Amino acid sequence: MTKKNKITNCWVCKNNINAFMSFGPMPIANGFLTQEQFKNEYFFEMEVAFCDHCKMFQLVNQPKPEQMFNENYAFFSGTSKLMGLHFKEFANHVINDYLNVVKNPFVVEIGSNDGIMLKHFAQQGIRHLGIEPSANVAKVAMDQGINTIVEFFDKSLAEKIVSEHGQADAYVAANVMCHIPYINSIVEGIKVLLKQDGIIMFEDPYFGNVMQKTTYDQIYDEHTFLFTVHSIQYLFNQFDMEVIDVEPQKSHGGSMRYVIAHKGAKPVQADVYKQLEHERELGLTESATYEKFRVNCEQYRTNLLGLLNDIKSKGKSISGYAATSKSTTIINYCGITTDHLDCIYDTTPIKQGKLSPGAHIPIVDYAKFKDNYPDYALLFGYNHEKEIMAKEQNFIQQGGMWITYVPEVKII
Ligand code: JHZ
Ligand code: SAH
Ligand code: ZN
């Protein structure tokens, strides 16, 4: 049964919002399951809204955080080598450009997962604390000696951290700020946690890229929000903090890194104003743009399902490649089934041997891909294209073909 617990007011500014689009009933994106679990599988109506007042794009309906982030969480950050390098660069940027002038600095990261970023602070002997509610991924970090607490960050936890460790010089986060519905409590918590001259640096998928490339697969249960500089500026201005710099990133199909400080504490860089202007040019502050986005999503769905049906009508085989969270939206919104995909190959041990959320497509160890190449492979992990192509060169050499849907549906 599809559960409804819909909000009617914006999570950020509390103004009235209305959904402009539904992606239909959706399961938990990382809810890989066994056959015995089918009867209790959770679905919610995945509807999205744009708040015309604070400019925040958001889900109006989603599972509770504990249903998604717990001791069975299936996403381990360390599965991508290139993301490992990305987070080393992120950590060194914070250390070299902000912490070098501070005596005995203290860094807090939320959503620290398996320690992919925090380990670079730990290895340099920097005082650090990770906040990670999913116990299984947190354990991987703790086993490496990275200080981690298994909790959800919010204002009351921030107060507790300050009383035990003092205020932080840097607050860092990646791909987690957009995951938290009670975002105002998070920002209030950061305000309490951060020293007067401290720095906030976080990154998340950028709605500008999602809109331009129609990568609607960034919309799933975990992503309560897709940010823009406009919406982030509104969010932090509410609590006397401001965006002082923006740094576009290629990761996850296009992300934005926001640098934020207490109001007046640090100079605002020109790039912030440039990006705000660019967002107005793209129409990201106008409801009409979101209506166009809906039409584009529907077109992409028609194109992808049409291509898969066409290939199957010729008797050819197709497998999925990389059981990403994003693939749950593509599969369930487009109506992709086990009639289309034989299986999905993936590197994550706890996903292997299970079935995909909703459509119940088998997840198979990627090492078996080469033993049984399909005619076509649908690249769900397009954001890891470089890494995947490098290890799967043989597939093409043996006559296999990749199907992508970013930035358009096509055979590569
Ligand atoms: P990947 C997750 O999204 C969830 P997902 C979360 N909500 C988020 O925002 C981002 O991460 C940060 C597989 N894979 O990174 C392993 C291969 O099979 O796009 C994983 O199952 N071969 C927190 O899940 C999946 O892809 C490979 O070579 O969309 C991870 O997908 C590589 C590199 C990955 O994140
Ligand atoms: N930063 C890593 C992990 C992102 S996955 C990366 O970019 O690869 C998102 C993580 O945020 C999950 O491990 C999840 O358990 C955690 N999370 C979700 N809500 C949180 C909250 N309120 N406080 C801290 N972490 C949270
Ligand atoms: Zn709002």
Mutational test site, ligand 1, from 30, 76, 80, 330, max ligand atoms within 8 Å of CB: 80
**Three-state secondary structure call for residue 11:** coil
Q: How many CB atoms lie within 10 A of CB 146?
A: 24
Measured by CA distance, the residue closest to atom 23 of ligand 1 is: 175
Q: Chain-centre distance of CA 55, in angstroms?
A: 19
The model's pTM: 0.97
Instruction: Show pLDDT as tens, one digit a residue, over the chain (412 residues).
Output: 455 568 899 999 999 999 999 999 999 999 999 999 999 999 999 999 999 999 999 999 999 999 999 999 999 999 999 999 999 999 999 999 999 999 999 999 999 999 999 999 999 999 999 999 999 999 999 999 999 999 999 999 999 999 999 999 999 999 999 999 999 999 999 999 999 999 999 999 999 999 999 999 999 999 999 999 999 999 999 999 999 999 999 999 999 999 999 999 999 999 999 999 999 999 999 999 999 999 999 999 999 999 999 999 999 999 999 999 999 999 999 999 999 999 999 999 999 999 999 999 999 999 999 999 999 999 999 999 999 999 999 999 999 999 999 999 999 9
Any ligand 1 atom below 6 A from CB of 332: no
Distances (CA, A) of 320 to 38, 42, 180, 204, 392: 21, 23, 29, 25, 13
- Give the whole-angstrom CA distance, residue 250 versus residue 138: 26
What's the pLDDT at 6?
A: 84
Instruction: Please give the number of the atom of ligand 1 that sits closest to the Cα of 74.
Output: 21
Q: What is the spatial distance between Cα 383 and Cα 258, in angstroms, rounded to a whole number?
A: 20
Find the 211 Cα to ligand 3 centroid distance in Å.
19
Among protein residues, the one with the nearest Cα to ligand 2's atom 17 is 111
By alpha-carbon position, which residue is closest to atom 26 of ligand 2?
Answer: 111
CA of 239 to the centre of ligand 3 (A): 15
8 A C-beta contact, residue 328 and residue 357: yes
Give the mutation target among 116, 346, 405 for probing the ligand 1 site: most ligand atoms within 8 A of CB: 346
Q: Give the ligand at the shortest distance from the Cα of 379.
A: 1
E strand or H helix at 379: strand 376-379
Measuring from atom 20 of ligand 2, which residue has the nearest CA?
Answer: 152
Residue 351 in contact with ligand 1 by CB distance below 6 A: yes
Q: How far is it, in rounded angstroms, from Cα 14 to Cα 377?
A: 44
Q: What is the pLDDT of residue 133?
A: 98
Tell me, using a 6 A CB cutoff, whether residue 12 lines ligand 1. no
pLDDT of residue 3: 57
Q: Which atom of ligand 2 is nearest to the CA of 186?
A: 22
CA dist 109 to 26, 120, 130, 203, Å? 30, 12, 5, 12
Spacing, Cα 207 to ligand 1 middle (Å): 18
Ligand 3 centre and the CA of 233: distance in Å? 12
Distance 83 CA to ligand 1 centre (A): 10
Establish whether residue 153 lines the binding site of ligand 2, counting it when its CB lies within 6 angstroms of any ligand atom: yes
Q: Is the CB of 402 under 6 A from ligand 2?
A: no
Mutate to test the pocket of ligand 2, among 69, 325, 384 (most ligand atoms within 8 A of CB): 69
366 Cβ closer than 6 Å to some ligand 1 atom: yes
